[in-house]
Structure 1
Amino acid sequence: MPRTKEQFEEMRNKTREKIQLAAMQIFVQKGYGSTNVQEIADLAGISIGLLYRHYKTKEELFNELVEYSINGIKGVSDLFKQDDSPKKLIMQFVDIVYKDMVDGDELTNLLILMTQSIFSGAINHVENEIKKQDAEMLNATLNLIKRGQEIGEFRSGNPYELAVFFYSTIQGLATMKVMLKDSFIMPSPSIIMAFLLKEGE
């Protein structure tokens, strides 16, 4: 029986997902410049021809991964701008980060990939967009922390410094996970949140 249009679309999406996951892994291990598309195809378990049917160039593939990361940053900014308990919102985000890092490598690889894309200058035209979204996310976070301090949910301290420390911790955990591999143990959400909560909470 011939496949339906929906079945073809599902197969196409699954293939793209395999390519993206393989690309993230190799880009993180070898860097953008040292990665070739044959390695990505091999890890994804597909032919080089099939990879090229989905992505014309390595740059196009890398660009899509970075765009996906940028959308993730926008999502965090939007979450932190919600009119809800600051403690609840930030704990919700920490729980997502914890689960993603325990369950797989996608978030870890995306965080490393974002850093690489800025340091390597591999794709210059996305660098400004990444920096812009990072600044917006940091601003949304420090405003959330400030609001949490005003209503007594968070400890006192410079909101900007606390926000920078928060993201440095998450980025550092991603780096440690890549370095330590199977021996890495993800700290619990309560440990990640400890710097922000008042003593005894």
Structure 2
Amino acid sequence: MPRSKEQFEDMRNATREKIQLAAMQLFVRQGYGSTNVQEIADTAGISVGLLYRHFKTKDHLFDELVAYAVEGLKRIITFFESAQSPIALMEQFVDEIYTDMINGEELAHLLILINQSLIAGSAAASQQHDDILRLNARLLNATAQLIRKGQQLGEFSSGDAQEMATLFFASIQGLAQMKVLLKNNFTMPSSSTLSAILMKERK
């Protein structure tokens, strides 16, 4: 029986996801510059020709993965800019980070991929590079604002909010790197440990 249009679309999406997953794993392990299209195709279990039917170039594939990661940054900014309680927002965010880090590698890979895009990404992606820098600045500013609000409410520790925001995200980025490097020997700190630099000690 001939396949339906929906079945063909499902197959196409499944192949595209296999390519993206393979590329992300290789970019993270080897770096963007050291990964070639043949390796991506082999890891995905497909031919190079089929890969090129989905992505015109390695740059195109890399940029699409980075764009997906960028959407995640935008969601975090929107989340932190909401009117909810600062401590409730931060606790929810830290719990989600903890859960994502212990249950899989996607978050760690996406964080590393964003860094790679700033350091050694596609030469044609200068606009994307600038967009990521602006988004990172917005994310730190939104986090600092949330910390200041929490400090005013007596929920967060005292200190320079911008420095605290920078240290908080540097620790998450560092944990992502360690997870990839240490693999099964990696131990994810608890949610309370991860947020200790921000939260006021509860009596």
Q: TM-score, normalised by structure 2?
A: 0.95
**Which of 143, 146, 160 in structure 1 is aligned with 2:145?**
143
Q: Distance in 2 between matches of 1:56 and 1:157?
A: 49
Give the ranges of 4+ consecutive aligned residues of structure 1 lying more than 6 Å apart after TM superposition: none
Residue 58 of structure 1 is matched in structure 2 by 58
Question: Do residues 153 (structure 1) and 167 (structure 2) align?
Answer: no
Change (3 A) 1:84 1:43: same
**Which of 177, 192, 195 in structure 1 is aligned with 2:194?**
192
**Which of 160, 172, 175 in structure 2 is aligned with 1:173?**
175
Q: Distance in 1 between matches of 2:76 and 2:196?
A: 20
Q: Distance in 2 between matches of 1:99 and 1:13?
A: 26
Residue 87 of structure 2 is matched in structure 1 by 87
Q: TM-score, normalised by structure 1?
A: 0.96
**Count of residues in correspondence between the two structures:** 201
Q: Structure 2: which amino acid aligns with 1:23?
A: A
Residue 118 of structure 1 is matched in structure 2 by 118
- Quote the offset at 1:88 in angstroms: 1.0
Alpha-carbon contact 1:37-1:58 (below 8 Å) kept: yes
Q: Structure 1: which amino acid aligns with 2:173?
A: Q
Q: Distance in 1 between matches of 2:39 and 2:67?
A: 22
Unaligned ranges ≥5, structure 1: none
Partner SS state of residue 179, structure 1: helix
- Quote the offset at 1:18 in angstroms: 1.1
Identity %: 57
Q: Distance in 1 between matches of 2:11 and 2:93?
A: 31
Alpha-carbon contact 2:32-2:121 (below 8 Å) kept: no
Q: Distance in 2 between matches of 1:152 and 1:2?
A: 65
- Quote the offset at 1:97 in angstroms: 1.3
Partner SS state of residue 82, structure 2: coil
Q: Distance in 2 between matches of 1:164 and 1:132?
A: 15
Q: Structure 2: which amino acid aligns with 1:5?
A: K
Q: Distance in 1 between matches of 2:153 and 2:202?
A: 17
Q: Distance in 1 between matches of 2:9 and 2:95?
A: 32
Q: Structure 1: which amino acid aligns with 2:185?
A: S
Q: Structure 1: which amino acid aligns with 2:54?
A: H
- Quote the offset at 1:121 in angstroms: 4.7
Question: Do residues 72 (structure 1) and 83 (structure 2) align?
Answer: no
Q: Distance in 2 between matches of 1:5 and 1:144?
A: 47
Alpha-carbon contact 1:101-1:108 (below 8 Å) kept: yes
Unaligned ranges ≥5, structure 2: none
Alpha-carbon contact 2:74-2:135 (below 8 Å) kept: yes
CA RMSD of aligned residues (A): 1.2
